[in-house]
Chain A
Amino acid sequence: MESGRPIFIPVILGTTRKGRMSEHVANFMAREIVKQENVGTEVVDIRNIPFPTDDAGESIKHAGFSETAMKADAFVIVAPEYNHGYPGLLKHALDTNLKEYIHKAVGICGVSAGPFGGTRVIENLLPVMRELGLVAIFWDVNFSAVQKAFDENGKLLDEAYVKRAEKFIKELVWMAKVLRYGRENVEI
């Protein structure tokens, strides 16, 4: 039986870099998410969260970000690949919560200027997701040659991403519903 509360899936924009194309990806994913019935979203831009850098972890929780994570049933993480890894400030932000993530679903969108669509950043993030208690889905969306996928205003130029995003989101919503039922009804 499903709860009446809408499923909430924030999109975490995981880079603060100037000129980031990942912003277009995050906004696109948010537009696609709200096409699903009874599913809400918002883009969480880590650039706008003033985390200190002289400490780390749960001791620097940001009330707004933690509340968003608490309300979430699942997360979409938009992660550009920097030198084959994830942006350090994305990890810094993610590490500020723990209980807020446990037994919630996550899907990762990899972003790269090259041909591999962030495959390596996704692979590098998966063990982090597991340790945070998140449950990763087996669909990814790989935005390769991202500068050709969107124009400078964020307009999608390659419509194939609509279908790719839809498959990813449907799997994520399914996992979000199942895990919400488990969190709320199945005792350990």
Chain B
Amino acid sequence: MTKKRLSCPRCGAEMNNHAEKISYEEVAGGYKPDPVFGGVVEEIHTCPGCGNVESRTAG
């Protein structure tokens, strides 16, 4: 199932998910690691309206 797109908290436009990155710092902070990658998979979203960048944990 496709995840719902993020709305930009700054301008309200629909953001684009263009990257995923493994974060090991978040594992150290107590987040549950992805069993395949050993870290937390973070999605990176950019707003085409204002250029704002947001991240969220992939799930």
- The chain A residues found within 8 Å of chain B, CB to CB, are 3, 5, 57-58, 70-71, 73, 98-100, 102-103, 133, 180, 182-188
Contact = CB atoms under 8 A, between A and B. Distances in A.
Contact of B48 (A103, A185, A188): A185
Interface size class of B (residues with CB under 8 A): 10 to 19
Q: Chain A: interface secondary structure?
A: loop
A34 B17 CA distance: 30
Given A5-B51, A71-B51, A182 B18 contact: yes
A57 B25 contact: yes
B40 interface: no
Contact of A70 (B20, B23, B25, B53): B53
Given A3-B48, A99-B44, A183 B55 contact: no
Nearest to B29: A59
A100 B21 CA distance: 12
Given A3-B48, A57-B25, A71-B51, A103 B42 contact: no
CB-CB nearest 3 A-B residue pairs: A184-B48, A183-B46, A99-B55
B20 to A, nearest CB: 6
Q: Chain B: interface secondary structure?
A: strand
A71 B55 CA distance: 15
Contacts of A188: 17-20
Contacts of A99: 21, 42, 44, 53-55
A102 B21 contact: yes
Contacts of B42: 99
25 contacts: A3-B48, A5-B51, A58-B25, A70-B52, A70-B53, A71-B51, A73-B51, A99-B42, A99-B44, A99-B54, A99-B55, A102-B18, A102-B44, A103-B44, A103-B46, A133-B19, A183-B16, A183-B18, A184-B18, A184-B46, A184-B47, A186-B18, A187-B16, A187-B18, A188-B19
Contacts of B19: 102-103, 133, 188
Contacts of B55: 99
Nearest to A98: B21
